[in-house]
Amino acid sequence: MITPTIKDDRYKQVEKTMKKLSYDRSALIETLHTAQETFGYLENDTLKFVAKRLKLPFSKVYGVATFYNYFRLKPKGKHTCVVCTGTACYVKGSQEILQVIEKRFSIKAGETSEDKMLSLLTARCVGSCSLAPVVIYDDKTQGKLTLEELQKTIEELIQ
């Protein structure tokens, strides 16, 4: 088993969460959240580190990480664009928005463009239904979008 170098300060953050929850096996999901927040995504070495510290089989940690939509096993692009595909956004045309972006960058939802500039993600519902249709660029929410506004914002984003 690979032991990651604990010298990396980021592992300390992950360690802190596990310690707070007394290294109990129920701490797994909280730990993965911290790990993703610190590293940006969950790579195999990180998962192995968590498995070892919580005394869990790697298969278990991998199983949990892949079960939940929120966890990413691949790095994100420089920018992210999350299209909400909830019911209210659907009624207001989120499918078209998705298609426009997919076409513009030749990627499918869940993928990152070849130049690593943009990751396109979908969300089940971000709970801002009154602003439908909603897109979140990096961490900024934009609602009541028209297709023109969308294209403009995206071009600005990847500049």
Shortest spacing between CB 25 and another protein, in angstroms: 5
Shortest spacing between CB 16 and another protein, in angstroms: 15
Pick the closer one to another protein by CB: 88 or 117. 88
Pick the closer one to another protein by CB: 129 or 157. 129
Shortest spacing between CB 109 and another protein, in angstroms: 11
Structure-token match 């596990």, residue found: 18
Residues in touch with another protein (CB under 8 A): 24-30, 32-33, 63-64, 67-71, 85-88, 90-92, 123-132, 140-143
Shortest spacing between CB 23 and another protein, in angstroms: 11
Pick the closer one to another protein by CB: 101 or 134. 134
Long-range contacts of 47-56 (CB under 8 A, 24+ apart): 48/1, 48/2, 48/4, 49/3, 49/4, 49/11, 49/14, 50/14, 50/18, 52/1, 52/3, 53/15, 53/18, 53/23, 54/18, 54/23, 54/24, 54/25, 54/27, 54/28, 55/23, 55/25, 56/25, 56/28
